[in-house]
Structure 1
């Protein structure tokens, strides 16, 4: 499968700085998005540490791993990279007073063998648009999601809550972190959206779907998503990555001579 990527991160209309970060390795097909938190500039430090460490370590592992690889190996490697980033952020927070209390959410992906491997912590999300239908394929690690899962509130009530930014997991907060990972089969023309909550809290899923279903280019859709979040208030930093599965890579046709030799 061949893929196209588009990314944008924006400060929004309220925050004084941007604590989101995005990092992409186009060759290794590794994408990482993070939403930092805590202290003056510390959230920015945490999110950049997460995106850079996970991207570089995962790309290096893919380049050096013995072939052929099994999907479970790739998924476990991605989990390990997220765990290593968590420890690095935690130790930096312990060793530098100005970084005390910093943390970050993260959603990391690897496109491998017609599969999307995802690992995430917190409420940064991944959606899939397939045949015009938008589906959130990550589950928020948040207080509200726990209330929904327990049947205490409805998703509609959660959408109106003032507690939407309370996450129950984040990188760097504790020495160990519980990473959630999943694998998804990719079909031709699938469109994946990775985003921070600066988009998902500002723009309803129906509006996200409307934008993603237009005939605009990938770059135009990326900007339209950011613009929509700002139009609805832009109360947080906004980060967006779009990944489009353009279809199977062409197979090299065997020449007449090679076919003849192969049948001899």
Structure 2
């Protein structure tokens, strides 16, 4: 069987692989020339240990759209160190008079004692940023019409970041970790991955829908109907999380895909927001704002006014027609 050599790490990969199994580099993108056979474009590596929820793959991608993005992070009123980290990377290109946006957005909420959480969340965001520059951006430029590939890339990138943090913490001799919620948006398709209790919401004129399920003790109690969502926000064990980045050498990353409609807002946030404000309070702040950035300012200010018990970080993405 023919094999492909990765130009970065020289690892042999199966014929048709999109990504190097060792370093994750994009290996091949198909193109067509007059009379020439196009090289095979295989499927991206599929994480066998990820949990998926899909509702987007059969819907054609919308055209002539744009993303408007806001972001904000704040230490809050009770903490001395902001252990949250953010990444917001968006791009836009046009071809044949139609435009298409894309973006990678990440909120990471660190944990693990003095500066440990700050280190973990920062390491994860830097890891995802490096992988985006090396793999995601080149792939988006060369293969923009296959957005579903990037859901697999997002999960694999988070898993690689998890391994880096786990190995670093073992060498450093102390435990640390971070939650993460991340989204790859390509046109009107969004792919959302998360670990821990950082959340994603879809907000529009019709209401607010939480897109993620917290990997926490209180979420399990709510699911079992032992406590209410309101009781969960004030529960003494609300900070007990059973799945985080950096806790084990491998991690299960939950993935959800969905189609965004014009007027939809996609919110990524740490629990410093969701722990202070109800879902309806979050929606009210967003819908009252004139733009995503002013909405982010309003959300963080509202969380601080409600007590500001934790670091608060938000990214808000709004899809609009050009």
TM-score after normalising by structure 2 = 0.73
| Residues in 2 aligned to 1:103 and 1:144: alpha-carbon distance in whole angstroms | 19
Q: CA RMSD in A?
A: 1.6
The equivalent position to 1:227 in structure 2, one of 298, 301, 309, is: 301
The equivalent position to 1:90 in structure 2, one of 166, 187, 192, is: 166
The equivalent position to 2:156 in structure 1, one of 54, 76, 80, is: 80
> 2:215 matched to 1:153?
no
Q: Name 1:143's counterpart in structure 2.
A: 217
CA deviation profile, 1:182-238 (whole Å, cap 9, x unmatched): 111011111111110001101111111111111433222111111111101111001
> 2:185 matched to 1:111?
yes
Q: Which moved more, 1:14-23 or 1:124-133?
A: 124-133
CA deviation profile, 1:20-43 (whole Å, cap 9, x unmatched): 000111225101110000121111
| Residues in 2 aligned to 1:59 and 1:185: alpha-carbon distance in whole angstroms | 25
Q: Which moved more, 1:53-62 or 1:166-175?
A: 53-62
Name the SS of the counterpart of 1:152 in structure 2.
coil
Q: Name 2:207's counterpart in structure 1.
A: 133
Question: Which structure carries more helix by proportion?
Answer: 1
Greater length-normalized contact order (CA 8 Å, ≥ 6 residues apart): 1
> 2:72 matched to 1:8?
yes
Q: Name 2:46's counterpart in structure 1.
A: none
Name the SS of the counterpart of 2:181 in structure 1.
strand
1:59 Cα deviation after fit: 4.5
TM-score after normalising by structure 1 = 0.88
Q: Name 2:248's counterpart in structure 1.
A: 174
Q: Name 1:254's counterpart in structure 2.
A: none
CA deviation profile, 1:230-252 (whole Å, cap 9, x unmatched): 101111001011111112x5xxx
> 2:96 matched to 1:32?
no
CA deviation profile, 1:71-115 (whole Å, cap 9, x unmatched): 442111100000000000001101113xx1100000011111311
Task: Work out whether residues 188 and 319 of structure 2, in 8 Å CA contact, stay in contact via their aligned partners in 1.
Answer: no
1:146 Cα deviation after fit: 1.3
> 2:304 matched to 1:199?
no
Question: Paired residues, what number?
Answer: 246
1:154 Cα deviation after fit: 3.0
| Residues in 1 aligned to 2:304 and 2:144: alpha-carbon distance in whole angstroms | 45
| Residues in 1 aligned to 2:251 and 2:145: alpha-carbon distance in whole angstroms | 26
The equivalent position to 2:198 in structure 1, one of 124, 127, 130, is: 124
The equivalent position to 2:290 in structure 1, one of 193, 216, 219, is: 216
Runs of 4+ aligned structure 1 residues displaced above 6 Å come to none
| Residues in 2 aligned to 1:6 and 1:118: alpha-carbon distance in whole angstroms | 17
Task: Work out whether residues 108 and 120 of structure 1, in 8 Å CA contact, stay in contact via their aligned partners in 2.
Answer: yes
The equivalent position to 1:21 in structure 2, one of 62, 85, 94, is: 85
| Residues in 2 aligned to 1:61 and 1:128: alpha-carbon distance in whole angstroms | 27
Task: Work out whether residues 5 and 244 of structure 1, in 8 Å CA contact, stay in contact via their aligned partners in 2.
Answer: yes
Gaps of 5+ in 1: 250-264
Gaps of 5+ in 2: 1-64, 92-101
CA deviation profile, 1:37-62 (whole Å, cap 9, x unmatched): 01211110100111121233134323
1:153 Cα deviation after fit: 2.8
| Residues in 1 aligned to 2:286 and 2:127: alpha-carbon distance in whole angstroms | 30
The residue correspondences of 1:60-71 to structure 2 (distance < 5 A) are: 60-65=134-139, 67=143, 70-71=146-147
